[in-house]
A and B are shown apart, each in its own frame.
Chain A
Amino acid sequence: MSKRSVDAVFQGLYLLTDIRGILRDTVPDHRLSPGQKKEAEKILGKLEKQVAILKEELLA
């Protein structure tokens, strides 16, 4: 059992859901405010970490 990879999948999905939330908040133009851009950047950075964990756990 790779609990670490399962956690990474859920963390990744939750982070993508946060991005989905930003897309919903900014319809129809998806023009992000400086604050929202900063938030999106933070989320995407965390998402990359979760993808790295998955690569490490499943592909190594």
Chain B
Amino acid sequence: MNCGEGIDTRQVDELFINLDPIQAGGRLTTDAMKAVLAYGDGYSVCDNCVKPFRLDHISKPPLADFHRDLADFLQMDVARLVPGARRGFQAVAGALVSPGDPVLLTAYSHYTEFLSVEQSRGIPFEIPADESHIITPDAAAARIEEVIRTTGKTPSLMFVEQVDYQYGNLHPVAEIAKVAHQYDIPVLCNGAYTVGIMEVNGKELGADFLTGSGHKSMAAPAPSGVLATTDEWADKVFRTTGIKGDLTGRTFGIKEVEMMGCTLMGVTSVGMMASFPHVKKRVKEFDRQLQHVNTIVDALFSIDGTKIQSEYPRKHTLTRMNTIDSFDKVAKTHKKRGFFLTSALRERGITGILAGSTRVWKFNSYGVSKEQADHVARSFIEIAEAEGLTITG
């Protein structure tokens, strides 16, 4: 069934339990799906845009209120919608990083954080992780000292992930930010895997900037996200235009330079806004999601040779497994080779794990019900048993 010429209708989440690491938290709520139906046209939020002609001032649909609610939700002072957390990184780096500036990132920083530094012509310095795959305040302090010693400059910005994309580990952002602030280094906390999933308090984290991803963790269409900051930094990162056309003399009102004016002018902002009441509620129920992921991990653990590479018990639903000594042994002789696992899961109505993976792979169980978590757990054990692996515990 097509939804346009050559475009198949996507039915992944209607037919399967979807454990895709980057898709789980962005699955739309029914209200967001309705908003998509009503606001799919381009510039659809601009019907009632009046002076001063800026997205965060539109009251119908209630985008102005939504911006204020987002800042409150994150315990920050000011928030703007951005086309993905990455555009938040870009805006902050664009405002704070000058060519040649050292910029701190971590061993688990997203590639778009690096690209934002590159675009601003900064020089990246990574804070290493410890053997548990955690970024520690001590490692941050040591790297800051080293960077100052070797470059003679204090880094103009530090990026740190609250939960990283590689291991799904929760890092001690508040303690790391405290260290950075001792050197007057502003901190951008990347909450792409946390904002909209679990409760996030920007003030408690000590974040000068906090980014969230609508399509990754706030049940919103892509590309969408939020950049929030404090009153101290708002004027810098959300500076308004002062440019003037030399022939026409045109000026451009109060458009914000780093935002490139208005950001999400249609279905993305309304989809995000429609999901927001549900998102506010679901972050308070995150413990239940942790129970579900631990149910799945415990089942995997019972398969001899299986290891977890993320911290355990899990503090987030994004999880990295190592099945080199279990499922990968089966893959070596199986007629479907490495594809046997994802194929067997698919037969049981489960998808989202990278096809062909039997060595090190990730899954994200965010959003599953208890019944679905039990089904996933049972399925892994059934597949292992069918392939002759030993189950213990």
Contacts and interface: CB of A to CB of B under 8 A. Distances in A.
29 contacts: A10-B37, A13-B34, A14-B37, A17-B30, A17-B33, A17-B37, A18-B30, A20-B14, A20-B30, A20-B33, A21-B29, A21-B30, A21-B33, A23-B14, A24-B13, A24-B14, A24-B27, A25-B369, A27-B14, A27-B15, A27-B17, A27-B349, A27-B372, A28-B15, A28-B16, A28-B17, A28-B349, A28-B350, A29-B349
Nearest to B18: A27
Interface in B11-34: 13-17, 27, 29-30, 33-34
Give the top 9 A-B pairs by smallest Cβ distance, nearest first: A28-B349, A21-B30, A23-B14, A17-B33, A14-B34, A13-B37, A17-B34, A24-B13, A17-B30
Interface centre among B14, B350, B372 (most CB of A within 10 A): B14
B38 interface: yes
B307 interface: no
A10 B27 CA distance: 22
A14 B37 CA distance: 8
Interface string B104-130: 000000000000000000000000000
A21 to B, nearest CB: 4
A23 B15 CA distance: 8
Interface of A: 10, 13-14, 17-18, 20-21, 23-25, 27-29
B30 A27 contact: no
A59 B227 CA distance: 50
A28 B30 contact: no
A25 B38 CA distance: 23
A30 B69 CA distance: 36
Contacts of B359: none
Contacts of A24: 13-14, 27
B224 to A, nearest CB: 19
A56 B372 CA distance: 43
A29 B17 CA distance: 10
A10 to B, nearest CB: 7
Contacts of A23: 14
Contacts of B348: 28
Interface in B30-47: 30, 33-34, 37-38
Interface centre among A14, A21, A25, A27 (most CB of B within 10 A): A27
Nearest to A13: B37
Contacts of B349: 27-29
A57 B14 CA distance: 32
B171 interface: no
B33 to A, nearest CB: 5
B258 to A, nearest CB: 36
B27 to A, nearest CB: 8
A15 to B, nearest CB: 10
Nearest to A10: B38
A60 to B, nearest CB: 26
